[in-house]
Amino acid sequence: MQQPLPNPHRQRGAALLLALVVVTVIATLAGSMVWQQWRSVQAESAQRAQLQARWVLLGALDWGRLILREDSRGSQIDHLGEPWALPLQEARLSTFLAEGREDLEDNPALQAFVSGTITDAQSRFNLRNLVVNGALSAPALRTLERVCVAAEVAPQVATLITQGVQRSWIPKEVEARSGVAAAMLRPERLSDLSWWGVAAQDVERLRPWLTLLPVATPLNVNTATAQLLAVAVEGVDSGLAQRIVQARSTAPFKSTETVLAMMPPSESGSRAAGLSVQSNFFELQGRLRLDQRFFEERILVERRQLDMVVISRERLVTGLSRSNPVSLQSP
Spell out the domain ranges in the chain.
46-122+280-329, 125-208, 218-278
- Is the pLDDT higher at 252 or at 134? 252
Q: In this predicted structure, what is the pLDDT of residue 322?
A: 43
Model confidence over 166-188: pLDDT tens digits? 888 865 545 555 544 444 578 88
Model confidence over 13-62: pLDDT tens digits? 677 777 778 788 888 878 778 777 777 766 666 666 566 666 666 666 77
- Is the pLDDT higher at 11 or at 139? 139
Q: In this predicted structure, what is the pLDDT of residue 10?
A: 60
Cα first-last separation, the chain: 85
Which positions ≥6 away from 134 have C-beta within 8 Å?
Answer: 170, 171, 173, 174
How many percent of the chain have pLDDT more than 90? 31
Average pLDDT across the chain, whole number? 79
Q: In this predicted structure, what is the pLDDT of residue 67?
A: 86
Q: In this predicted structure, what is the pLDDT of residue 102?
A: 56
In three-state secondary structure terms, 285 is: strand
Q: Determine the Cα–Cα distance for residues 281 and 302; give it in Å rounded to an integer.
A: 5
Q: In this predicted structure, what is the pLDDT of residue 253?
A: 94
Q: In this predicted structure, what is the pLDDT of residue 169?
A: 81
Predicted confidence band of residue 308 (pLDDT cuts 50, 70, 90): confident
Model confidence over 231-255: pLDDT tens digits? 998 888 999 999 999 999 999 999 9
Position 141: which residue type? L
Q: What angle do CA 131, 134, 139 make, to 5 degrees?
A: 35
**Which range is least confidently modeled, 85-94, 292-301, 311-320?**
311-320
Burial class (CB in 10 A: 0-12, 13-18, 19+), 106: exposed
User: What integer is the mean pLDDT of 2-18?
Assistant: 63
In three-state secondary structure terms, 264 is: coil
Task: Indicate the pTM of the whole model.
Answer: 0.74
How many percent of the chain have pLDDT more than 70? 73
Q: In this predicted structure, what is the pLDDT of residue 210?
A: 94
Q: Determine the Cα–Cα distance for residues 283 and 260; give it in Å rounded to an integer.
A: 27
Class of domain 46-122+280-329 as given by CATH: alpha beta
